Chains A and B, each alone.
Chain A
Amino acid sequence: MSETILIRGARILGGAAQDVLISGGTVTEIGTGLEAPGATVVEAAGHILLPGLVDLHTHLREPGREDSETVLTGTRAAAAGGYTAVHAMANTFPVADTAGVVEQVWRLGKESGYCDVQPVGAVTVGLEGKQLAELGAMADSAAQVRVFSDDGKCVDDAVIMRRALEYVKAFDGVVAQHAQEPRLTEGAQMNEGTVSGELGLTGWPAVAEESVIARDVLLAAHVGSRVHICHLSTAGSVEIVRWAKSKGWDVTAEVTPHHLLLTDELVRSYNPVYKVNPPLRTEADVMALRKALADGTIDCVATDHAPHPHEDKDCEWAAAAMGMVGLETALSVVQHTMVDTGLLDWAGVADRMSARPAAVGRLAGHGRPVATGEPANLVLLDPAYRGVVNPAGFASRSRNTPYEGRELPGRVVATFLRGRATVMDGKLT
């Protein structure tokens, strides 16, 4: 922590080149022509300096599915992707629905040292949607849980959802809803549309997401609470969130990198690497999501990093698990879809991938401006880099990326967690 680092010539949020001095875990000086004898110097000409990324939606799989990811491997993947904090989803085995489990995950995060791990608590016991989990106990625990989610499953009972939204107001919590009407999506395999009809795969209609979001923004308004929408995936969902925000309701939403880039046309290959929940949608949805992220209707990018072992994808479509890893490619996909297209500048990226997710999660010390006196949670990236995604080089234990073989721009050069480099010269330390 006591290391002194001088970053030379970095473009803070894409602005003019400046030097940044880090010492004692804090940004101590910003200017030009800085000198710091004895400091580790990072030459960063042409590189962009952003606040460390914050993920609201990460599946670290531990406890229970250490064959696909552990807190250690997942946080290494996060650091490699430029993240300094991740929210660990609750659908582990056992489910993170007690103070004991969230404290275990929180402690494993502390021990990993690569990235802060903020556990998400389950809304209901065992993600069953029937009985509220002890939300207060999780909030009061060492993990200080503020985000609650049954992600993977929808809190579909309107009364349970209403009570959860009301109850978490006591400790400024938020319910992050996985919006999926269960009856409309029984056996669903992919987006319902022209492609599903041709492929003979059971459809997951947009209305199954949109109807739940519509209900939940109305519920949140009614009880005066805040609600966060996980992995919003359709143009219709964007319209509903936009309307709710126009009413002044406390509604936030996230989009995944894959929903900003990929469409259901890829499912024609029947390659389960494209199987994900919510499913890949249409080109029109992708464009609506990009626009909504640009104009702020969608608050943040969240990876929904979902590691799966090889055998769960090396099979026929219906037998395959849903989900994609995303931590190590998120920033590149956002550069490709949002920055290189002119929809968002680097300050916008910092807002959508760091400041706003930290605000939704009430996470102290993250998502802060790059300024003197602020905690040195930072990511340095080279936007000029072009590389082909090769999952063999991933820090994650799993390889289920939909981008294998695809050229994407940008590369994380260094990540700093409270002044300590977790990544340096593009490599984990």
Chain B
Amino acid sequence: MKRHLISAADLTRDDALLILDTAEEMARVADRPIKKLPTLRGRTVVNLFFEDSTRTRISFEAAAKRLSADVINFSAKGSSVSKGESLKDTALTLEAMGADAVVIRHHSSGAPHRLATSDWINASVVNAGDGTHEHPTQALLDAFTMRRRLSGVGRDLDGRRVTVVGDILHSRVARSNVLLLTTLGARVTLVAPPTLLPIGVEQWPCEVSYDLDAVLAKSDAVMMLRVQRERMNAAYFPTEREYARRYGLDGQRMAALPEHAIVMHPGPMNRGMEITAEVADSPRCTAVEQVANGVSTRMAVLYLLLGGSEPAISTDRSDSARTEESK
């Protein structure tokens, strides 16, 4: 494992499987009466959130607390950041307070990368979603969920067909999933109106389709992405209704999926937009399961990055330089 988790591209197949296998062990903790391990006692994890995201923040918070780490939640709203403090000064402050890991959510693509490669901070950096770039722990928890449902614990996703539907252009979830699922052997197909696909997507390691109905029957998992209604105002699609008709998942479309196929959603869902209530509430929909799996997966990531109960790993500058070179 590297010292930071910035992009799903940083993970080899072995890295990813190690995280998923570790997450399985962590999941067992959740079944205990006392849901806590002592492994990160005395370590400090800072949740640095420049964007509102209650579910990702509490998922990381629960993960760190179950590992007995001290957790500091630093929300940009109502803090010095809203008074114009720079990312650098915030980082220097956290460094001075002795943060061992910084979990960062930022509206600017590349901010976690910048934090990890700058000389502002020595802590491990975990990307909890940056702009429209990546959200690697979401991809890990999605892979964890797929593995449990489709191929079995301990295995990769070899040959599984995963269809990701929606606003690919602005989706950090899609970018991380394409990278990670491909690493794990899955075949990914992106489905979206052409306006919501990035320029250059044909060079990504995946298939692209404008037609949802054409790919449903060949999907082991369908991941529906949240589509923000305000995209309509920027002419990405004409109306919500047209979007829902062409790219929404309803009961009829769900029936076209193979029997074993699952429906996934990273949340929060726009019921009636990309997914109907009938589908969202069906047993095939893993949205709630994904939330639970998110805690286990993030426990695994923090555990592996911070070295668990091992002595604190070296975080001096030469170590950081090596990490960068190996990327």
- A interface residues with partner B (beta carbon < 8 Å): 189, 192-203, 205, 269-271, 311, 314-319
Contact = CB atoms under 8 A, between A and B. Distances in A.
Nearest to B107: A318
B109 A201 contact: yes
B199 A203 contact: yes
B235 to A, nearest CB: 11
9 contacts: A194-B200, A198-B175, A200-B131, A200-B172, A201-B110, A270-B113, A270-B114, A316-B87, A317-B109
Interface string B126-157: 00001111100000000000000000000000
A199 B108 CA distance: 11
Contact of B88 (A199, A200, A315, A317): A315
Contacts of A194: 199-200, 203
Given A194-B200, A196-B198, A317 B110 contact: yes
Contact of A198 (B107, B111, B200): B200
B106 interface: yes
B175 A200 contact: yes
A318 B109 contact: yes
A189 B106 CA distance: 16
B200 A315 contact: no
A200 B198 CA distance: 9
A199 B203 contact: no
Give the 4 A-B residue pairs with the shortest CB-CB distance, closest first: A200-B133, A270-B110, A197-B198, A194-B200
Given A192-B199, A194-B203, A205-B199, A199 B87 contact: no
Given A201-B109, A317-B109, A317-B114, A196 B200 contact: yes
Contacts of A271: 114
A192 B107 CA distance: 19
Given A200-B172, A316-B87, A319-B108, 6 more contacts: A197-B199, A200-B132, A317-B110, A318-B109, A318-B110, A318-B131
Interface residues of B, number: 25
Contacts of B87: 315-316, 319
Interface of B: 86-88, 106-111, 113-114, 117, 130-134, 172, 175, 198-201, 203-204
Given A199-B133, A200-B133, A316 B108 contact: yes
A404 to B, nearest CB: 15
Most B C-beta atoms less than 10 A away, residue of A196, A270, A271, A316? A316
B172 to A, nearest CB: 6
Nearest to A267: B110
A314 B88 contact: yes
Contacts of B133: 199-201
A315 B130 CA distance: 14
Given A315-B87, A316-B87, A199 B199 contact: no
Contacts of A189: 109
Most B C-beta atoms less than 10 A away, residue of A269, A270, A311? A270
A318 B109 CA distance: 7
A314 B175 CA distance: 26
A316 B118 CA distance: 10
B182 to A, nearest CB: 13
A315 B90 CA distance: 11
B74 to A, nearest CB: 16
B110 A316 contact: yes
Contacts of A198: 175, 200, 204
Contact of A316 (B114, B199, B201, B204): B114
A194 B205 CA distance: 12
Nearest to A269: B117
Contacts of A311: 86
Contact of B134 (A200, A314, A315, A317): A200
A199 B110 contact: yes
Most B C-beta atoms less than 10 A away, residue of A195, A311, A318? A318
A197 B178 CA distance: 13
Contacts of A199: 109-110, 133
A335 to B, nearest CB: 31
A316 B172 contact: no
Nearest to A191: B199
B176 to A, nearest CB: 10
A202 B109 CA distance: 9
Contacts of B88: 314-315
Contacts of B175: 198, 200
B184 to A, nearest CB: 19
A182 B52 CA distance: 29
Contacts of A193: 199-200
Contacts of A269: 113, 117
Contacts of A201: 109-110, 131-133
Contacts of A317: 108-111, 114
Contacts of A203: 198-199
Given A193-B200, A198-B175, A315 B86 contact: yes
A198 B203 CA distance: 10
A195 to B, nearest CB: 8
A198 B109 CA distance: 10
B110 A197 contact: no
B80 to A, nearest CB: 15
Most A C-beta atoms less than 10 A away, residue of B110, B111, B172? B110
Contacts of B200: 193-198
A180 B199 CA distance: 19
A37 to B, nearest CB: 57
Most A C-beta atoms less than 10 A away, residue of B117, B200, B201, B204? B200
Contacts of B111: 270, 316-318
Contacts of B106: 316
Nearest to B109: A200
